[in-house]
Amino acid sequence: MINVPFDSIDKTIIESLFSNQVRENRTLDYKELLPANGRDDRKEFLADITAFANAAGGDIVFGITEKRQNNRPTGIPEAILDVTDKSPE
């Protein structure tokens, strides 16, 4: 989990996750894109939110790609993308 108040999360915090190669865990999840407006995308987003709500809570960080090994995500951040102009409709 990102251990700062929500309003204090900024580019520096996100960049530190990347530079420190912070791996996904039970309270941290990386997503490459914001959820689209399709039914399957909404279901996936709600499943992620529900999983955190039923556990210890957590943070989903959009705009992070994960390194892959044997075509499987590793949970290690690979790149930070710009998602500022994209939002679900």
Per domain, the residue ranges of the chain are: 8-71
Beta bridge partner(s), residue 66: 77
Which ranges in the chain belong to alpha helices (H)?
A: 11-19, 39-53
Query: Is the full-model pTM beyond 0.75?
Result: yes
Residue 83: per-residue pLDDT: 64
Residue 88: per-residue pLDDT: 47
For the chain (89 residues), the mean pLDDT of every run of 10, in chain order, is 90 94 94 87 90 89 94 95 60
Are 85 and 54 in contact, with CB atoms under 8 Å apart?
no
Are 65 and 33 in contact, with CB atoms under 8 Å apart?
no
Residue 14: per-residue pLDDT: 93
Tell which residue, 51, 76, 57, has the closest CA to residue 65: 76
What residue type is 26 in one-letter code? R
> Both tokens of residue 58?
């957590």
